[in-house]
């Protein structure tokens, strides 16, 4: 029983390990989607959007009515006293001297003072206060700017997404090209091994020299070295792809996209050099225009800063003042209420507002110049990307023809060599020419894919 449980546990652990180490396969679109979900920089940008939303709520709350309550208790162990001049005695004496003691006036002496208190030992007060902003031109402009700022931040997310798509696409295509290169080398090795087998048999029969076999063995050894190097480069390229995708570096990854289909899509599409493109599809353009709108709102805010601001307030409260706090025979609660308006009218600020308006206009002019430079640069980028794409397609077509010719020459040279009418040097030269054309063809494929990606970026489609 124990051995059965142990076997089941071992089987479970093996399955878990196999699942953990299982390779994940991605198409290009799936790789991009994975990167967009897991990229840390993009997550920060998305948090910036949430932060902008909270900033809007925070700013909006400044214009909303606010209500607060206050309660206060004070106890005076020693009640504050105030010295007060005796003004009653002189009045009484004056009245007597004008009537009863007119014949014998009572002298009025020096002023005397006595202590009096206007405070009770116990003081309790409570109030509810409310205030609300009625009008403030700068506040309204700031609220409009906050809403626009959220859109501005969102364009930063779009720019980040574009960069992620670009990086993942190029890293993915680079791995596909390396796979294609490896496939070509494997085919060459297989073909060369077959030829080497045939030549060894011919050498044993005395039809060719040992030097001919040695040359072929050297070519095979060089191909195996190139394959080993290519495997290392492929691992590095996959690590770069994992990094761009934010995929765990310790896990295996496979590409399920078909390179031939990708190439076919790139070759089918035609490009019109004179076709107009929509610059508004570029997220950088949207960000610059949003920045200009923010500049306009800032200028509007500065212009409205000289307008009066109006706010309303209200307060309702009660106070209790007693020498004996719980003696209900003394004075009770005394209510109070007040409502009013505050009007703040800017009169003179020393030229501060004028300088703000001037600086805002300068910033707008600079932004307009940057926008013009951007439009010019994008037009050039699109034109160059179209030309590079067309050239890459033309180059690939020429390299396909050259490769077909090199394969044809190599096959005929092999036949001639086997029939004894061709030399091993001719075979080696044809073989070398074939490998060069294969490398050039793969490089042309890579250039076409890169040109296609750059064109999509320039047009704002990626």
Mean pLDDT in residue range 426-437: 83
For residue range 240-270, what is the model confidence (pLDDT) as tens digits? 999 888 899 888 888 888 777 777 766 656 6
- Max avg pLDDT among 79-88, 125-134, 324-333: 125-134
Q: How far is CA 169 from CA 22, 35, 173, 259, 266, in A?
A: 23, 11, 6, 13, 14
Q: Write down the residue that tokens 């107009």 correspond to.
A: 276
Query: In a 3-state reduction of DSSP, which class is residue 355?
Result: helix
Strand partners, 317: 127, 336
Mean pLDDT in residue range 104-113: 71
Q: Could you say which DSSP state residue 175 is in? A: H
Strands 122-135 and 82-85 come out as unpaired
- Can you give the pLDDT at residue 266? 62
Query: In a 3-state reduction of DSSP, which class is residue 135?
Result: strand
- Can you give the pLDDT at residue 194? 81
For residue range 203-231, what is the model confidence (pLDDT) as tens digits? 787 777 788 778 878 888 888 888 888 88
Q: How many CA atoms lie less than 13 Å away from 169 in the CB half-sphere?
A: 20
- Report residue 94 as tokens: 């004056």
- Cα separation, 413 vs 423, whole angstroms: 9
Domain boundaries, the chain: 23-63+136-307+351-459, 82-116
Residue 3 clears pLDDT 60, i.e. is over it? no
Strand partners, 341: 312
Q: Could you say which DSSP state residue 114 is in? A: E
Q: What is the pTM of this model?
A: 0.68
Tell me the helices (H) and strands (E) count for the chain, helix number first: 10, 8
- Cα separation, 202 vs 132, whole angstroms: 103
- Can you give the pLDDT at residue 456? 84
3-state helix, strand, coil in the chain (%, to 5): 65, 15, 20
Percentage of residues of the chain with pLDDT beyond 90: 3
- Can you give the pLDDT at residue 13? 45
For residue range 369-424, what is the model confidence (pLDDT) as tens digits? 988 998 899 889 888 988 898 898 889 889 989 989 988 988 888 888 777 777 77
Query: In a 3-state reduction of DSSP, which class is residue 24?
Result: strand
The DSSP string of 209-257 is: -HHHHHHHHHHHHHHHHHHHHHHHHHHHHHHHHHHHHT--TTS-EEE--
Architecture of the domain made up of 23-63+136-307+351-459: Up-down Bundle (1.20)
Q: Which residues of 291-317 are buried (b: 16+ CB within 10 A; e: fewer)?
A: beebbbbbbbbbbbbeeebebeeebeb
- Can you give the pLDDT at residue 145? 79
> Which are the contacts of 455, defined by CB distance < 8 A and separation ≥ 6?
271, 382, 385, 386, 388, 389
């Amino acid at each position: 029983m124990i051995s059965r449980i142990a076997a089941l546990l071992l089987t479970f652990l093996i399955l878990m390990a196999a699942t953990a180490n299982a390779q994940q396969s991605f198409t290009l679109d799936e790789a991009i989607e994975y990167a967009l979900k897991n990229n840390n920089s993009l997550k920060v940008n998305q948090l910036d959007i949430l932060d902008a939303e909270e900033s809007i709520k925070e700013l909006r709350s400044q214009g909303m009515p606010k209500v607060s309550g206050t309660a206060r208790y004070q106890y005076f162990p020693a009640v504050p006293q105030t010295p007060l001049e005796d003004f009653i005695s002189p009045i009484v004496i004056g009245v007597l001297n004008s009537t009863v003691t007119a014949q014998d006036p009572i002298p009025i002496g020096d002023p005397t003072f006595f202590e009096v208190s206007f405070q009770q030992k116990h003081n309790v007060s409570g109030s509810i206060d409310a205030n609300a902003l009625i009008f403030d031109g700068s506040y309204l402009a700031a609220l409009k700017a906050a809403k626009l700022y959220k859109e501005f931040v969102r364009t930063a997310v779009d720019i980040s997404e574009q960069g992620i798509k670009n990086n993942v696409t190029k890293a993915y295509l680079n791995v596909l090209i390396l796979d294609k290169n490896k496939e070509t080398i494997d085919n060459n090795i297989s073909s060369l091994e077959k030829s080497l087998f045939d030549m060894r048999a011919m050498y044993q029969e005395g039809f060719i020299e040992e030097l001919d076999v040695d040359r072929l063995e050297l070519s095979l050894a060089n191909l195996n070295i190139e394959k080993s190097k290519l495997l290392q480069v492929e691992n590095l390229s996959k690590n770069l792809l994992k990094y761009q995708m934010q995929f765990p570096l310790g896990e295996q990854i496979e590409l399920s996209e078909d390179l031939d289909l990708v190439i076919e899509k790139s070759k089918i599409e035609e490009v019109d050099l004179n076709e107009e493109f929509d610059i508004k599809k570029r997220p950088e353009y949207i960000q610059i225009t949003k920045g200009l709108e923010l500049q306009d709102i800032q200028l509007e805010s500065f212009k409205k800063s000289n307008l009066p601001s109006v706010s309303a307030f209200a307060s309702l409260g009660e106070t209790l003042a007693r020498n004996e706090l719980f003696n209900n025979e003394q004075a009770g609660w005394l209510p109070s209420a007040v409502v009013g308006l505050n009007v703040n009218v800017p009169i003179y600020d020393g030229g501060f507002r004028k300088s703000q308006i001037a600086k805002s206009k300068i910033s707008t002019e600079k932004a307009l110049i940057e926008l013009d430079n951007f439009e010019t640069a994008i037009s050039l980028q699109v034109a160059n990307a179209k030309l590079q794409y067309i050239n890459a397609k033309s180059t690939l077509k020429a390299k396909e023809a050259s490769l077909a010719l090199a394969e044809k020459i190599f096959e005929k040279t092999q036949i001639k060599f086997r029939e004894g009418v061709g030399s091993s040097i001719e075979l080696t030269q044809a073989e070398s020419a074939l490998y060069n054309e294969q490398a050039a063809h793969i490089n042309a494929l890579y250039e076409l894919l890169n040109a296609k990606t750059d064109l999509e970026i320039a047009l704002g489609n990626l």
